[in-house]
Amino acid sequence: MKSSFAYQRIRWTIALGLAALGGWFSTSSAQEFVPLPALAETVQEVSDPLTAQQTSTQIESLGLSDVSDVSLASYSDYYPNSGDYQWFTQVRCGYDNGFVLASERDLDLGDDEFPFVMRLNGWGQLRHTTFESEGANPNQNQFQLKRARIVFSGSAFTPDFEYFVQLDGRSSSGDNLRLLDYYMTYDVGHHRLGYEKGTLGFKTGKYKIPFSLARYLSGREFEFTDRSMASMYFDANRSLAWGLYGTVDGLIIPWHWETAIFNGLVTGGAETGSSGQLDDNFAYSARAMAYPIGEWGYGELADFEWHETLATRVGAGWANSAINKSGSTEFDSSRVVDSGQTLASILPANIDQYTVNLYSINHSCKWRGWSQTFEYYFRNINDFEGGAIPDLFDHGFWFQLGKFIVPGKLELLSRWSRVDGNSGTLGVANQSSEEIAGGFAWYIREQNAKLTADATYINGAPIDSASLDMSPGDIGWLFRSQIQFAF
């Protein structure tokens, strides 16, 4: 049994620790928080019956006897530009058959330097799919909810510490709602070292692995209804990861880069712990991107800006993973061309590990309503353990063109995608799969409201993708029409 002296010592230790923590927090808060106008100085002049009924005694008891109504003109003391405070007159908050936040228009709130920010966004894609099979796979004719996303993002304590949470519901998963992304970024270079914003940062959580342009792009920005066949075949997708990102300005042009260490290729949905879905090998990736010529603009693919001079984007990526049989999710995910079977299903039973190296290069440009995107991939599978299997090599690409025939509104589209390699025969012979597509996109309100329709001919799909509506070995015509809405 502890003595009273021991209890006293523990109590004083805890008290001193709490005092030190409180002092640190106060100091940190003073350094981190951006000062905002006092509450009493940011009260609009209002006419409120409830306020009018309060007596002077009640007001004094609340400590508000010195508070007077402040007109909008007083905001110029805090907001140098007159337009900065006009948003107060254009926003409503209250209860109207439900709790409501309302705004007359899209506002610039100037929240980039605020320490605490939360932003709510959402977007969805409703699709009709028809597949007319020319092979053994069945036809398809369905309405589908392909993506139903709710996004919470913002910053906490300092603008340099940001968070991003994305929830996803889709009809291909039934009624399940999944945590698609959950990550945090910390701009160490700006916050601690005095560098320009974006020079050096740390990122951790569940997010897209830095490898390909196709995966980097948000589904909101697609010109077609979805990604290409080749980009899904060579995809690294999402995973739980730690990473670094930044910008290098010392070269001829600035390069944006990102690198990560993560659980494995296409392991974002894998159960962690001792479930047996993951092996004990980490995977690694890196990606770099630059804009050599012109100002790219806000559209990731389509030329909404109608560039009068050429704008270009280039990039490259790499990913590596040693895949062991003990991790079923990753071991069963790699597929082969052109059958679309899993590599694990055609390997000899005694093979228990192999290594995958992925490489990508890409080029994009915009000019006078034209947009062009090209990405090439290489995949090398080697270091087989448990048997004599030769190195397997696959490669492929997607090439996409868009042209606005009505600037900013109606865009015509074409795409060619191909995968070629010897993985399906375990190195004996090359086989190939191909995708040729055309379509249009009608941008009702740019990416916030649009209608897309495309027709695709598939000659032996090497993937199994619910997002693309493609199954292994598909041969035939795929027709998709999709409505997208976003806020």
Distance (Å, whole) CA 262 – CA 119: 27
Residue 47 counted as domain residue: no
Residue 55 counted as domain residue: no
The 3-state DSSP class for residue 181 equals: strand
Residue 461 counted as domain residue: yes
Residue 81 has pLDDT above 70, yes or no: no
Distance (Å, whole) CA 241 – CA 261: 6
Residue 71 counted as domain residue: no
Residue 327 has pLDDT above 80, yes or no: yes
Residue 16 counted as domain residue: no
DSSP secondary structure letter of residue 23 = H
Taking only the tens place, the pLDDT of each residue in 194-219 is: 999 999 999 999 999 999 999 999 99
pLDDT at site 15: 54
pLDDT at site 314: 98
**Cα separations (Å) of 252 from 46, 257, 286, 289, 425?**
56, 15, 21, 13, 44
Distance of CA 22 to the CA centre of its chain: 37
Distance (Å, whole) CA 248 – CA 286: 14
Among 220, 217, 363, which residue's Cα sits nearest to residue 290?
A: 363
pLDDT at site 194: 93
pLDDT at site 65: 44
Residue 77 counted as domain residue: no
The band of 85, judged by pLDDT with boundaries at 50, 70 and 90, is low
Whole-prediction pTM? 0.82
Percent of the chain with pLDDT over 90: 73
Domain that residue 277 falls in: 115-486
Mean pLDDT is lowest, of 107-111, 137-141, 176-180, for: 107-111
Q: How many domains does the chain have?
A: 1
Residue 400 counted as domain residue: yes
Q: State the CATH number of the domain containing residue 164.
A: 2.40.160.10
Mean local confidence (pLDDT), 65-73: 47
Q: Which of 109 and 10 is assigned the larger pLDDT?
A: 109
Residue 182 counted as domain residue: yes
- Beta carbons within 10 angstroms of residue 287's beta carbon: 25
Taking only the tens place, the pLDDT of each residue in 266-323 is: 999 899 998 889 999 999 999 999 999 999 999 999 999 999 999 999 999 999 999 9
Residue 87 has pLDDT above 90, yes or no: no
Among 231, 235, 266, 236, which residue's Cα sits nearest to residue 418?
A: 231
Mean pLDDT is lowest, of 68-72, 302-306, 328-332, 480-484, for: 68-72
Residue 5 has pLDDT above 50, yes or no: no
Taking only the tens place, the pLDDT of each residue in 410-455 is: 999 999 999 999 999 999 999 999 999 999 999 999 999 999 999 9
